[in-house]
Structures are given as C-alpha cells and as structure tokens.
Amino acid sequence: MPTTSYQTPSPQGYYGKFGGAFIPEMLHPNVEELQQRYLEIMQEPGFQLEFRDLLRDYVGRPTPLYYAKRLSEQFSTNIYLKREDLCHTGAHKINNTIGQILLALRLGKTRIIAETGAGQHGVATATVCALKGIECIVYMGEKDIERQAPNVARMRMLGAKVVPATSGSKTLKDATNEAIRDWINNPKDTHYIIGSVVGPHPYPDMVARFQSVISEETRWQLKEKTGSELPTHVIACVGGGSNAAGAFYHYLDELSVQLVAVEAAGHGVNSGLSAATTALGKPGILHGSKSLLMQTEDGQVIEPHSISAGLDYPGIGPLHAHLFDSGRGHFMSATDEEAMRAAFEVARLEGIIPALETAHAFAALNRLELKPTDQVVLCLSGRGDKDLATYMKQMEMLGE
C-alpha cells in the first residue's frame, strides 16, 4: 500500500492538484454544512443499515458479476461484466441518489433539487424522491426537454416538477445555473443532488463513497469465481466519472490492477467534436472544483460532443484528473463509431444491449493488448433501452 491513498481527498477536498470548493459566497452555508456533516452521517450505523437495505431490496444489489464467455473468446482473454444495467432504473446512478436522499433527510431537508441533461440523473432523483415522499424539482434546459421527451415523461409520472432553463444555450449548463440559484435562495430546507463525482468538495468524495459499493461487491464476487479478489484490469467509461470511481474505488490502492478509463472521442479526438477531456483539457475550474476541462486559450469552456448524452460533458471529476496526472489511471477514448460497433458486437455475442455510454468501455477492449491469463472486469454501467432510437438509425444506415 502506498503511504498516501488515492481514495481519500485532503480535508479541503483535494486529490493531488485537483478538487477543492470554488463556490459563490452565497453558497458557503449550504456547502459547509455538507462538508461538516457528510462523513459523520454516512458512518452512522442507522444510516448504513437503511442504505444497505434499500440497495438490496429496492435497487436489486448485489448486481451480478457475469463471466462473458463469448466476448472473452472473441478477445482471447477473460472478461467479467459488473451488471449495473440490472439496477432499478437501469444504471448505476441510483446508488448515489439513494445515498444522497438519506443524507438529506438526516440533515432535515424537505425539498430536493437536481439538474439534468439527458434526463438519466433526473429520473434517478425523481425515483428516490417518490420513494421517500419528498418534493422534487428538476432543472432542465428547454432544448433538452424537447430532445428527451421520454425521460421528461418519466420524471413527471414520478411526481417531479421539471422546470425549463430558458437562458443561454438552453442546455445542461444553464440548468446547472438555475439549480444553483434555487439553492442559494433556499439554503435551509433544500438539498442539491449532484449526479456524478463532480462539483465542490464534498460532492466528489461523497458520490465516490456511495458508488464504491460496485467495487466492494466485485472483490468478493471475483474471489468466488477465480480465487483472487484482484483482476488485472478494471475498465469503465467516464462522463463525470461516477461509475468509474465506484468500479475503481477498492482497487485504487492495489497498484497491480490497471484502471482503464474510457472517454468519448466523438467524431475523433482532434475533430473539434469530442468529449475526450484528458486528451484535450487543461486545468481549470468548472462547477465548483479544480479539474481538467476542455477550454479555449482564454478559458472559455468548449462545447463537448458525444453520441452518448451521459458522456457529453466538458470536464471530469477531480479524482480522475489526479489519476490521469499521476499516471495511476490509464486513459483512453473511443469514437461515436467505435462505440456503436462495440454495442452491436456485445448485443450479438452476449444478448445484452448496453447503454451507449457503456459501449465506449467495450470499444476499449480492441485497444488493450489482453492476454489469455488476464482477468478483466468491465463496469456495465447501464442498459441500452434509452438508446434504441440511435441504435435503430445505425441499423437503417447499415441496412441490417
């Protein structure tokens, strides 16, 4: 074990050079309350008991670790899929929203706000608010509301109020601004649920801890199957980085395990239409923390592009920026086309239709030189039902 852990940030929320809490003065009371209370609350036995019960009976955990035989044969290696696609609501995001809502209730909050781009985080948040009977407001860009009608309908059916953000580009960053404005105006009764390992300290650490159940389970499940808790590789896609943080967490300080993070290269890393943050990004401050982000010479955020809405983000969380900077993480990217091809391959070899986000992780299998003795764990972050329209377009194009 190294003397400093990759798992835990400094008391100020730094992972190496990255992290911290860069927030407007008016948000200090809200964020400080969280900073002071999150660890104590998360460690309470009563909290842990309720969190674990809901993960088991409501989410359906532990999710299986499945040996993908035909995919393994294809790559002449051993591939295990961590089936987060089998979680209630179809992806890993609910692990975090359950954790945060239990925390919010213990802080005495009666109102939940969130922002969402594609709607996946909004649906996970609306779901747990219905579960707990608590008011839920989801901010969403007006353009995204038009583009993501099925998820908007889901949120409304679950009882959430979806509020359009009508300023600027009418997309995710405008929704984020609206959510922050709301939180400033309602510091006492409202908790803001952030959906990935991004945002000011303590969010990256808090979300990583909630998602760490993924690698906690992987360790004993892999031991049952192979006799060892340690794989040679763990592969995950990275938007903000929460499924990767969860899949890596209990392996961060096991230096024999290669951690492979796969970003979205869009039309190609150098095409101008990409979301490959580590390849293109420079240090900067976005959404309350210092990290790597895609920006122009004078620090304007560059609009990212990915075929997959969940990876279409111009930054990554500070933990991942540190894993990249320190060399602990192995960062790769996959293009829209590579991801699409990988999704069809997995569907036909394993009978599993992965989310477009996850398809990027599968695409990385082509780039890694895997050996027959390797034991590879791939985090299957979500299912592809939500991406069927995009997949169908591809089938029409290929005449399949």
Positions in the binding site for ligand PLP (CB under 6 A)? 91, 93, 120, 196, 237-244, 310-311, 355, 357-358, 381-382
Nearest C-alpha neighbor of 241 from the set 324, 316, 330:
316
Count of CB atoms situated within 10 Å of the CB of 130: 15
Q: How far is the CB of 352 from ligand PLP (least distance, A)?
A: 13
Which CB, 31 or 244, lies closer to ligand PLP?
244
Q: How far is the CB of 74 from ligand PLP (least distance, A)?
A: 22
Residues β-bridged to residue 263: 333
- The Cα–Cα gap between 285 and 166 comes to 24
Q: Which of 215, 350, 381, 386 is catalytic?
A: 381
Contact residues for 69 (Cβ-Cβ < 8 A; gap 6+): none
Which CB, 129 or 207, lies closer to ligand PLP?
207
Which CB, 78 or 318, lies closer to ligand PLP?
318
* Helical axes 203-211 vs 28-43, angle rounded to 10°: 30
Residue whose C-beta lies closest to ligand PLP: 382
User: Is there a catalytic annotation at residue 115?
Assistant: yes
Which CB, 295 or 381, lies closer to ligand PLP?
381
Q: Which of 84, 115, 217, 345 is catalytic?
A: 115
Q: Which of 72, 82, 84, 93 is catalytic?
A: 93
- With contact defined as beta carbons under 8 Å apart, do 377 and 247 qualify? yes
Rounded (5°) CA angle 6-194-234: 40
User: Is there a catalytic annotation at residue 326?
Assistant: no
- With contact defined as beta carbons under 8 Å apart, do 50 and 41 qualify? no
Which CB, 38 or 248, lies closer to ligand PLP?
248
- With contact defined as beta carbons under 8 Å apart, do 372 and 344 qualify? no
Q: Is 330 helix (H, G, I), strand (E, B) or coil?
A: strand
Nearest C-alpha neighbor of 208 from the set 218, 221, 195:
195
Q: Is 67 helix (H, G, I), strand (E, B) or coil?
A: strand
- The Cα–Cα gap between 65 and 24 comes to 43
User: Is there a catalytic annotation at residue 217?
Assistant: no
Q: How far is the CB of 189 from ligand PLP (least distance, A)?
A: 27
Q: How far is the CB of 334 from ligand PLP (least distance, A)?
A: 13
Q: How far is the CB of 54 from ligand PLP (least distance, A)?
A: 19
List residues with catalytic annotation. Answer: 93, 115, 381
